[in-house]
Amino acid sequence: MQVDELVEAVEALTRVRHVMIDTDNGPRWATGEPRLKQLQEAVYVSMGDRGGPGGLKSERSLLSSDALYRATVITSQIGDWCRMDGVPVTRDPITDLDAWCANRVTLDDRADEWHIGQLEKWAREIDAMFNRPRAVDITTTCPVCGEKYYEGDDGEQCVWPLKGYADPFKVECRACGISWDGPDAAEELADEIGVTRV
């Protein structure tokens, strides 16, 4: 049982996976890069990208420094595990983690709980970096303040102050600052703005 859990935790970081993505025609399944490769690519793109197109520079830099830090910590830790178990280190986290795991499952009398917990933590951290919730404008007035307009960051008047996130659910009004958080709040807000639930 321990062997299966360890292998599963390693493969969650090193293998291609199926992910749900949003498209114009609704959500669909797609093949996603291994989590560690996704993290590496964020580092390499950021190191080679010096202000070209592809989003706001400040957003790219923020993700890039986070990705670089996380990749460095994970690669270093995997290298330490390899050295402790006598496995050659290549500095490629996927190659090293797979080699470490292949060696580890052959050992007798070992405890994998801490390693499994660490691997699962890394998977959650990488997912949190790349699966940031996207905001959508809700095209109705705020049910609390009644405003249809709000002042944008540049001082201009903008329409539709309600800004919503799906996962986790949150809606905030950019006019009065009130927010609705969680599933119960979603139902309350739906009632307040007259959305018919099926």
Q: How far apart are CA 72 and CA 68, in angstroms?
A: 6
Separation CA 80–CA 66 (nearest Å): 21
**Closest by Cα among 55, 66, 22 to 166:** 22
pTM of the predicted model as reported, rounded to 2 decimal places: 0.58
Pick out the chain residues at pLDDT < 50.
1-3, 49-63, 197-198
Angle at 136 (CA atoms; ends 135, 142), nearest 5 degrees: 110
Length of the chain: 198
Residue labelled with tokens 């291994």: 34
The pLDDT tens digits for 177-194 are 999 887 788 778 888 887
Cα separation, 69 vs 89, in Å, equals 20
**140-151 per-position pLDDT tens digit:** 899 999 999 999
Query: Residue with structure tokens 């970096």?
Result: 129
